[in-house]
Amino acid sequence: MLYTCIFFLSLMGGTPACAQGSILSPNTVDRRIDPLSAIDLQFMAAQRADVEALANRLGKQLTGDPDRDLETLQRILDLGLVSPEDTLQLQALGVVLGDLFAAELNMDWVVYRDRAGRSRALRYRDSETFLFPVTMISRRWEVGHQRDVSDIYHTNVSKTQAQLPGANWR
């Protein structure tokens, strides 16, 4: 009985963090991490191309430079080039945001499977530190909480850096 309660509480603690797109050090029970499939890679490449096309409409391109790309993502949103109801396009912006996280934090894209389902996530090496950037923009904009993309980025970078090995030495 005690084991069941502890197990249930540990699951309760992991699912909301995942759903919020935040850093997660989950209980590894009922969870599987896999590499991205060929379909994932192809789909994400198409999402990046869609965002690049939106950036081109603004006379910009994605560069991999966080300051420039965050500004471009914000302009795409501010100008209404992506509707708050267009979940796929908002998630495409999240993939580009995730690429910026991956470069800054030395993280890799993986498939994260748990009881809640299957998600594309970023993982720091073989650690238990994950980010779920695909939905970081979409979930906010779909409900009218139009948080600045730069704020989302910088907040998650600082929180994630604090979780990484050697963080106390930085």
User: Tell me: the pLDDT tens digits for 72-120?
Assistant: 999 999 999 999 999 999 999 999 999 999 999 999 999 999 999 999 9
Candidates 10, 17, 9; CA nearest to 159 is: 17
pLDDT at residue 47, rounded to an integer: 98
pLDDT at residue 166, rounded to an integer: 77
Whether the pLDDT of residue 124 is over 80: the answer is: yes
Fold of 30-162: Four Helix Bundle (Hemerythrin (Met), subunit A) (1.20.120)
pTM for the model: 0.82
CB atoms closer than 10 angstroms to residue 48: 15
Phi and psi at residue 75, to the nearest 5°: -65, -40
Tokens linked to 135? 């939905």
Average pLDDT, the chain: 86
How many angstroms separate the Cα of 17 from the Cα of each of 70, 78, 101, 107, 169?
A: 24, 27, 18, 18, 26
Tokens linked to 26? 């989950």
Query: What are the extents of the domains in the chain?
Result: 30-162
Instruction: State the amino acid at position 34 in one-letter form.
Output: D
Whether the pLDDT of residue 5 is over 60: the answer is: no
The span from the CA of 46 to the CA of 135, in Å, is 17
